[in-house]
Amino acid sequence: DPSWGAFPARDALLQRFGILQQVAKGKTEKCVSEREGGDDAQSACVGALTGEKPRTVALICKPSALANYLLKHCWTFSNYSPCVGWTWRASAFLQSVYEACWPYESPVQFVRDNLQLSDDGLVALDWAVPSYQKRRRTSSHSTSPVLLIIPNSFGKITRNVLKLCEMALSHGYLPVVFNRRNHNSCPLTTVKLQQFGDPADLREAVRYIRYRQPAGRLYAVSESSGSGLLLSYLGECGSSSYVTAAVCLSPVFRCQSWFESGLCWPLQGALVLYQKICLSRYRTVLAETLQTDTLFSSHSLRGLEEALFCHNTSITWDAYWEHNEPLRDVDEVAIPVLSVCAKDDPIRGDAHSTVPLELFETNPHFFLLLTDRGGHCGFSTQSEGNSHGINWSHRASLEFFRATTDFFNAEERVKQIASRRRGLGGAAGGRFFRHRSVSTCKRVPACSHNIHAIYSWQRSYTR
């Protein structure tokens, strides 16, 4: 019975015998199956979005070696207990508003780098450090991984971002928050604002991060509508993105239709007002290039976006999104990307029409964790009160980074061993290998950020 998959005891029992249940295929259900060690077959359900009683969490992806590895080693993926019953945390709307608007007393402080861009514009990089740390700057010789965090496209630093920074620090990451022009008190030094899906500023910021921390791997997490910028960057840069793996938390995929359909009145009104407040400081200078009367009289997100980027140019609304839709270059993405979504997300909308399931079922680089409950960047759990506010989606993200890194390291070790055997085997089937000097078998250290060598379309995880 497929509904049996809703019970966590089932997973524990089957894991004990080395078997994951294979659920019968539904309308948009995919399963992977890999045979290992002779007669033992290993199967795993990797997605379900049917009208029948679903699992709490479904991993939807194309069958691959990396997908099998994630199913074996990412226990958080199947360990999600959303809040139910008569509590405000069970409401998708209330927990979404809470995570976006409620203040959070974070033990994290930020050190800001204002980065001047090639066109003299400014973006800000906020490096998160513990409040008790006396040394406010991290050494450039540090090998700690860097976690690049991209907030929502409106520039609001939410509880979700602050809690992610806190958790990342506790796991040894160096979190850095990317702030666009005019976002989060970043000065606007030119009249140019960043378009929704234009990754040019982010590309320069990533180069600066690589310059500051050349020895550490780079990971990326985006929140809400900020995922449009991350997906655009990964698509345009391909294997030259310098990012090891990425996670999108409650992403908005089809952004043009999202702007056109609009949100419910309280949410849309609040977001429009917040943007107007941020732009009002530069109203005089923006009047040189924009129709500010139209801009500040807009009552919708689409009206604001059109006033900022379309009215004073020859670009039509449809042409604007041809250059800014996040999935326009999705086939060029060359790293693993995990998306964490909830079916009851009140911001993104109905999962059947807003989540591109065909992308995850056909592209080996994309993975989708789809939960029944969770709201928008909420994912409150029943035990959250006893877990010091740790968010389930944050645990899943960091576990995904760890698992993908371990998988790549194992792949590189196998590759190096095979290369040494081919190079040192000798002409007579390895007969002279034991007489060679030990120095010929010296281990060659792998560069942690040799992106072109590590991430190619011939990687085994795309099998």
Would you state the pLDDT for residue 56? 82
Domain of residue 381, CATH code: 3.40.50.1820
Residue 126, in any domain of the structure: yes
Statement to judge: residues 90 and 207 lie in one domain: yes
Q: How far apart are CA 438 and CA 441, in angstroms?
A: 6
The domain boundary, picked from 389, 409, 429, lies at: 409
Q: How far apart are CA 324 and CA 319, in angstroms?
A: 9
Catalytic residue selected from 344, 345, 365, 394: 345
Statement to judge: residues 148 and 244 lie in one domain: yes
- Give the torsion through C-alpha atoms of 27, 30, 31, 34, to 10 deg: 140
Nearest by Cα to 163 from 106, 220, 219: 106
Are 98 and 90 in contact by the 8 Å Cβ rule? The answer is no
The domain boundary, picked from 364, 385, 409, lies at: 409
Residue 372, in any domain of the structure: yes
Catalytic residue selected from 126, 183, 201, 376: 376
Statement to judge: residues 356 and 300 lie in one domain: no
- Give the torsion through C-alpha atoms of 45, 46, 51, 52, to 10 deg: 20
Statement to judge: residues 321 and 194 lie in one domain: no
Question: First CA to last CA across the chain, in angstroms?
Answer: 30
Are 22 and 31 in contact by the 8 Å Cβ rule? The answer is yes
Q: How far apart are CA 216 and CA 104, in angstroms?
A: 29
Q: How far apart are CA 376 and CA 97, in angstroms?
A: 8
Cβ neighbours, 10 Å, residue 406: 12
Range of the domain at 285: 254-325
Residue 285, in any domain of the structure: yes
Q: How far apart are CA 330 and CA 358, in angstroms?
A: 12
Statement to judge: residues 203 and 313 lie in one domain: no
Task: Enter the DSSP assignment of 21.
Answer: P
Residue 194, in any domain of the structure: yes
Would you state the pLDDT for residue 53? 42
Residue 305, in any domain of the structure: yes
Residue 385, in any domain of the structure: yes
Count of structural domains within the chain: 2
The domain boundary, picked from 383, 409, 435, lies at: 409
Are 383 and 414 in contact by the 8 Å Cβ rule? The answer is no
pTM: 0.80
The β-bridge partners of 148 are: 176, 220
Phi and psi at 307, nearest 5°, equal -65, -35
Q: How far apart are CA 145 and CA 448, in angstroms?
A: 10
Statement to judge: residues 218 and 165 lie in one domain: yes
Nearest by Cα to 408 from 331, 463, 359, 335: 335
Would you state the pLDDT for residue 336? 97
Would you state the pLDDT for residue 29? 38
Instruction: Respond yes or no: is residue 376 known to be catalytic.
Output: yes
Statement to judge: residues 219 and 351 lie in one domain: yes
Q: How far apart are CA 370 and CA 351, in angstroms?
A: 9
Statement to judge: residues 174 and 199 lie in one domain: yes
In sequence order, the 6+-apart residues with CB closer than 8 A to the CB of 56 are 6, 80, 81, 82, 371, 372, 373
At 374-383, the pLDDT tens digits run 999 989 887 6
Would you state the pLDDT for residue 122? 95
Instruction: Respond yes or no: is residue 183 known to be catalytic.
Output: no
At 10-52, the pLDDT tens digits run 344 333 323 233 333 333 334 333 323 333 333 334 433 334 3
Nearest by Cα to 117 from 177, 192, 205: 205
Q: How far apart are CA 300 and CA 424, in angstroms?
A: 67
Statement to judge: residues 183 and 193 lie in one domain: yes
Statement to judge: residues 392 and 405 lie in one domain: yes
Would you state the pLDDT for residue 256? 95
Statement to judge: residues 289 and 183 lie in one domain: no
Would you state the pLDDT for residue 50? 36
Q: Which residues does the chain have with pLDDT short of 70?
A: 1-55, 134-140, 383-389, 424-463
Residue 450, in any domain of the structure: no
Statement to judge: residues 299 and 169 lie in one domain: no
Residue 49, in any domain of the structure: no
The β-bridge partners of 150 are: 222
